[in-house]
Structure 1
Amino acid sequence: MPDEPPASVDVCIVGGCGRVGLPLGIAFAARGLSVVLYDINADAVATVNSATLPFAEAGAAEPLAEAVAAGRLRATTDPAAVGTSEHLVVVVGTPVDEHLNPDLGAVPRALERCAEHLRDGQLVVLRSTVYPGVTALTEKLLVGRGVQADVAFCPERIAEGHAMTELFTLPQIVAARTPQSLARAEKLFRHLTDRIVTLTPEEAELAKLFTNTWRYIKFATANQFWMMANDFGLDFARIRHAVAYEYPRAADLPMPGFAAGPCLFKDTMQLAAFNRNNFVLGHSAMLINEGLPLYLVSRLEDRFDLANSTVGILGMAFKGGSDDPRESLAYKLRKILALKTRETLCTDPYVVDERFVDLDEVLRRADLLVIAAPHEQYARLDTDKPVIDMWGLTGQGVRV
């Protein structure tokens, strides 16, 4: 490749205005690095450059404003920004298609959009969850483009809403093929944490998938236990409390609820595909978690005259306290109830949607209320309407 000018910024994040890339960029900037965020979403870029968060993330607003004001962080839609950095962090992951097959081209497509600006000597870090082998595929892609770059896979493991704490406290997995690439990636992430765990790229790719799949299976276990207890008229919340109370071997048994969001289901299906769809445990977890809205509506049909009822769904985000509706099972619940009820009303204090109505209106008009996302606002509802709460948020038991 032709000689390139030296890097003018420390880090460029591809997909940098999203829920993974932006907190990472803010964290690096907070530690004194210069950061440019490359994103194709012009609205998000403008929002970030105005020192405003485009989504909710606790503890991120103030350091974002400080970094933008100090000139350490900026966002752009110009792919040429990719060539200005020493470290290129790609936060585009591997999605699954409508047939639950991994889309292996997502990361290569993201790199192809800016490939002409890649430089020799850069460190290219894959950050989001990828299908096993995508790191090797990226290495081949760069070689094929004639780019002499180091490649690493350093998966994010943050929980939405906790990024500005966990980026600095959780151990960082760092994986690369060569000692030089490994050393460079470790040096980069030591700006955030001193606790580094090194693996090969393939080990790290599986480690990330194992992490999310393990959570998905735990949620499925809790949901299956809840349905068992519920079918016999027993309160799973009381049983779980007895099981977990000062008993460390059961401390990680979660409460039931919609196991949703952009990662857990998707990554479980990626792991299944990786193992030639020989993953009975993962597929069983999918059937349980994805079938929960159907089970819930079936129980409601047994207790209430749904055809002549207005049902209010409280919370459309995929988890409590979040403004992220991606892959939320509350929407699946809405579709099912729309076929069964006189009317279905939806509300959420964080998710913006013109189809939603205010909580007060839902409380006034609905005959029955279902807590679909455990937002703290719903813990102390002032209503005489029946409240279906499988999360245990209200402390009144979880029998349905």
Structure 2
Amino acid sequence: MTGARSEIMVLDEPFVRDVAIVGGCGRVGLPLGLALAAGGLSVSLYDLNESAVALVNDGVMPFAEEGASDLLDALVRTGRISASTDPAGVSGAENIIVVVGTPVDEHLNPDLTAVPRAVEQCAGHLRDGQLLVLRSTVHPGVTALTEKLLARLGRRVDVAFCPERIAEGRALTELSDLPQIVAARHDRAVQRAEKLFRHLTDRVVVLTPEEAELAKLFTNTWRYVKFATANQFWMMANDAGLNYQRIRDAVTYRYPRAADLPMPGFAAGPCLFKDTMQLAAFHRNNFGLGHAAMLINEGLPLYLVSRLEARYDLARMRIGILGMAFKGGSDDSRESLAYKLRKILLVKAGAVTCTDPRVPDERLLGLDEVLAGSDLLIIGAPHPEYADLRTDLPLVDMWGLTGREPLV
């Protein structure tokens, strides 16, 4: 980081809000807005999703997040937080936080322009003297691209990169419990970003933008690789006719160096796979470990079906999938491998029905209907609702949720 810029920014008029969040009604932006508003700041949420904006302004959460519903209702009533589809509201806030999706394309190449494009769309409403915080997970170098964009547009705006690191469902807890990473090119921007995020926690870690960009990618990739390791171990044990759960329990029992060895299961969702591919692209696709993890994790539904084919006459069977979210306890089905499993079984099995107590999807049936119409069940997402499931049907539970034998 370099020294603070010497020029003093003179404001034309005072700010009327402390924070505006671009993409503020989504699963990352809304919990952040709630946490900052609960910390005493006034927050506006800018989002293109009209239905989500309407729900938020009515004090209703557009998705499930523990502890958020009552908090949102209270904050809306006090005027501490509000939502809008009008980008003009961005101009009234001292701090702008950008939270937008950063996908990879069909060739697994990262979209480096997603965040700068969102910034450019709001550029007409940016004012000199604001702090612009990039919160999205980005390919290394995107912060620098954004800085160049703002300079080209003549905007005298401080820029910081402060990546989100929450787990869905635990966002409000983790926003205060986890340290916040703060990164910027200039000392003034670091100080402003640190001041902002100290409304959430006193634990702040300062990095350069490029270090912080890699730190976030390393975090998600590490989890993806770790899940792939567990999935490969399960396949090895399963192919040998051995119980992985018993082996894992023995390995992890009072042995701290293996305490984080997971059970197998679908490693999916909108972040882990995508960010592993972003990291691979950053290193010129020279990332054998990441690509191997992708083959294992993305191949798990195929492995599962191949093992079932060897054991059952699938073409004559009705298969029920329990849980379509990308992880247990969530209502988020984005990039869920349970849907990939469904697609494969639609070709291989006689019939496939799916259920989920949390995911809103008109194609899904009730649990009782799926149980009554199935010959074999597969747990696709380990929702706690399935832990005490009572059925005499064959049940595939690689997660170890029900205590059933995990062999397939």
For the residue of structure 2 that corresponds to 1:45, the secondary structure is helix
Q: Could you say which residue in structure 2 is the equivalent of 1:30?
A: 38
Q: Could you say which residue in structure 1 is the equivalent of 2:5?
A: none
* 1:169-198 superposed Cα distances (whole Å, 9 cap, x missing partner): 100000000000000000000000000000
2:293 aligned with 1:285: yes
Residue type of the alignment partner of 2:295: L
Q: Could you say which residue in structure 1 is the equivalent of 2:20?
A: 12
Pairwise CA distance, 1:114: 1.5
Pairwise CA distance, 1:4: 3.8
Quick check: 2:11–2:129 contact (8 Å CA) kept in 1?
A: no
Q: Could you say which residue in structure 2 is the equivalent of 1:136?
A: 144
* 1:278-306 superposed Cα distances (whole Å, 9 cap, x missing partner): 00000000000000000000011011110
2:396 aligned with 1:371: no
Pairwise CA distance, 1:62: 1.2
Q: Could you say which residue in structure 1 is the equivalent of 2:165?
A: 157
Quick check: 2:322–2:378 contact (8 Å CA) kept in 1?
A: yes
Pairwise CA distance, 1:359: 0.3
1:318-333 matched pairs, under 5 angstroms = 318-333=326-341
Pairwise CA distance, 1:335: 0.4
Gaps of 5+ in 2: 1-8
Runs of 4+ in 1 over 2 A off after TM superposition: 1-5
Which of 317, 330, 334 is residue 309 of structure 1 equivalent to?
317
| Identity value in percent | 73
Which of 63, 68, 78 is residue 60 of structure 1 equivalent to?
68
Alpha-carbon distance in structure 2 between the residues aligned to 1:342 and 1:102: 38
Provide TM-score, normalisation by structure 1. 0.99
Q: Could you say which residue in structure 2 is the equivalent of 1:178?
A: 186
Which of 104, 122, 129 is residue 121 of structure 1 equivalent to?
129
For the residue of structure 1 that corresponds to 2:321, the secondary structure is strand
Which of 49, 56, 59 is residue 41 of structure 1 equivalent to?
49
Alpha-carbon distance in structure 2 between the residues aligned to 1:13 and 1:382: 45
Pairwise CA distance, 1:397: 2.8
Q: Could you say which residue in structure 1 is the equivalent of 2:3?
A: none
Which of 169, 182, 198 is residue 177 of structure 2 equivalent to?
169
Which of 244, 264, 268 is residue 256 of structure 1 equivalent to?
264
Gaps of 5+ in 1: none
Residue type of the alignment partner of 2:222: W
Alpha-carbon distance in structure 1 between the residues aligned to 2:239 and 2:400: 17
Alpha-carbon distance in structure 1 between the residues aligned to 2:86 and 2:13: 17
Q: Could you say which residue in structure 2 is the equivalent of 1:393?
A: 401
Residue type of the alignment partner of 2:144: A
Q: Could you say which residue in structure 2 is the equivalent of 1:146?
A: 154
Pairwise CA distance, 1:5: 2.5
Pairwise CA distance, 1:2: 11
Q: Could you say which residue in structure 1 is the equivalent of 2:363?
A: 355
Residue type of the alignment partner of 2:52: A
Residue type of the alignment partner of 2:259: A
Residue type of the alignment partner of 1:363: L
